[in-house]
Amino acid sequence: MTRRAVFLDRDGTLNQVVMRGGRSYPPETSAEFVLLPGVREAVIELKSCGFFLVVVTNQPDVGAGRQSKEVVEAIHDWMRDLLPLDDVRVCYHTDADGCTCRKPAPGMLTQAAADWNIDLRLSYLVGDRWRDVDAGRAAGCRTIFIRNEYDERQPADYDLAVGSLLEASEAIRLGRV
């Protein structure tokens, strides 16, 4: 049996980012990890529609030595306690590593699809950065961009732009994307 999935970015999609100089950064501690409004409801709605839910997140601060893997894993344990997630995939590499898992490469999505029998053509990627959208496109998913005001490149090609994960879940549920 193949599954339909929603791949969810973490920072800026599920939780608040820390903004410094117009750039977004992940929370540095579990105490800084705060779910965005409507996230719990959105994830529960997606789960009730039968979607397999996979978080796909770049955490290059670990690879760069600015964050510990233990803190990131503690944040993910806490996140799993709050939300009905099926899997969490993490890339700890930096751009310089040239890996196939760091978004915008589709490796986290394609590996999860292979591991969990997910049909990427029937799946969605929801994220707040160009890297998320590009990874979803490269994997063959429909893509939903959560608009932001980051001082960085914006995605050029996505299926739908929304203001929040709750709006994205509603669009998916209603078949608008």
- Tens of pLDDT, residue by residue over 77-126, are 999 999 999 999 999 999 999 999 999 999 999 999 999 999 999 999 99
Q: What ranges do the domains of the chain cover?
A: 1-6+10-49+65-98
Q: Compute the Cα dihedral for 28, 12, 62, 123 and give only its sign.
A: positive
Q: Check 11, 128, 132, 134 and give the catalytic one.
A: 11
Q: What is the pLDDT of residues 125-168, one digit of tens each?
A: 999 999 999 999 999 999 999 998 888 899 989 999 999 999 99
In which order are the strands placed within the sheet that holds 160-162? 87-91, 52-58, 5-8, 124-127, 142-146, 160-162
Residue 9 is a catalytic residue:
yes
- Whole-prediction pTM: 0.96
End-to-end CA distance of the chain: 23
